[in-house]
Structures are given as structure tokens and as C-alpha cells.
Copies of this chain bind each other. A is one copy, B any other.
């Protein structure tokens, strides 16, 4: 498998290709390539048994493709943990590094790295690290805009993109923080959040808040 094909499988997984048909356009957008290239690649991935593709509709991962994608995500996130916890990388900077390393990582290496890191369950952005032969079990999380007003929640995951991470950091919203949504204005795409420990009041875009996952604090 080439790094290129591996990235296609991973993106497909991230866009919900385990259960739903992912349209070519989304893949093209995410990878920054042209739609015809996606069509071509899908045919190639179908031939190798990684995906099921319905022309004009989109593609889904086969069980084999799903397994492969999970292994890649595991490698990616293990490297992120290493880069942040051992090498001192900034959380916002590890993604592109892991995006490359994941393709140069044998199973043996991933296993040893996992042991070395003491079997971490989450990457620095809060994404669950899939465990071999087990379903990737993300903790039951909600997208921030789905949370009821006045319900205390804890930020458990931020979609791993440098710009998004910077946006949330600029608004003092980091993984582990406890917050409460105090109000929401759908027409203005704005929501107001109360940061519990700092007592700050923060206003963020509701559209962007989709990329913030939270879990309800059971207290």
C-alpha cells in the first residue's frame, strides 16, 4: 500500500465511510485533489478490495478497509502521543508530522511504541486510540452545539486541524477544561460559553464549535 492509498482509506474512515457512502467531493476537498482523481482512485481501491463504490453515489469501506484504516489511525495517534509527551512538541504542530510517520510504521514498531507509551487511550487531541481487534471506542461525546444550555461539560476532543486548534486555543478552550454553554443564537451562528475554572465568558462560532467534542460531567 502506498502512502497515497493509505491516506484515502483514513479519510474515508474519518468521513464516516464505515457506515455511510462518502461522496467523492468530500474526499477531493479533504485531500486537496481534483474529483476525477478521486474517481480513478476509487476504482483502484475497489479492485484491491478496500472499498465498495457506487458510481455517482460514493464509497464505503469494506471490513478489510475499515481494519486497515483503524491501524493507520492507531499509528497516527500513537506518534502524536510520543511527539507531545516525550519530544515536547506543541499539540498544534504534531498532526502533519504524524501524517507522515504513520505510513512508515510497521506493526512491530507500533506495538513497541504503544508499550513504551504505556498504552495510551487517547491522542493529544482527545481522539481514541484504537486497540487491536477491538472497536475504537470513543467515549460517548457530543458536538458542543448539541449540548443543552446550562449543562456542565468537559472538553474531551478537538478535531485535529492546526487552524481549528489555534482557534480554540485563542479562545482559551482546551482539552480537559470544564465549560457551560450559557446561550446560543442560531441566526447569528454564535454561542456563549462560560469557562468554569477561569470564570471567563467566551463567544465562539457555532459552526466551528461543531469540531469541539464534549462529554457531560456526571456529578
Which A residues fall within an 8 A CB radius of B?
Answer: 83, 86-89, 93, 97, 100-101, 103-106, 108-109, 112-113, 115-116
**Cβ of A10 to closest chain B Cβ, rounded Å:** 15
Q: Is the CB of A112 within 8 A of B100?
A: no
**Cβ of A94 to closest chain B Cβ, rounded Å:** 10
- Give the secondary structure class of A's interface: helix
21 pairs, CB–CB < 8 Å, chain A vs chain B: A83-B109, A83-B112, A86-B116, A87-B109, A87-B112, A87-B113, A87-B115, A87-B116, A88-B112, A89-B112, A93-B108, A97-B106, A97-B108, A97-B109, A100-B104, A100-B105, A101-B101, A101-B104, A101-B105, A103-B104, A104-B104
The 4 closest A-B pairs by CB, nearest first: A100-B104, A87-B112, A104-B104, A101-B104
**Cβ of A100 to closest chain B Cβ, rounded Å:** 4
Chain B residue numbers with a CB within 8 Å of A106 are 97
Give the nearest-CB partner of A112 in chain B: B87
Chain B residue numbers with a CB within 8 Å of A89 are 112
Q: Complex formed: what's the CA distance from A86 to B97 in Å?
A: 20
A87-B112, A97-B109, A100-B104 given; 13 more Cβ-contact pairs under 8 Å: A83-B109, A87-B109, A87-B113, A87-B115, A87-B116, A88-B112, A89-B112, A93-B108, A97-B106, A97-B108, A101-B101, A101-B104, A101-B105
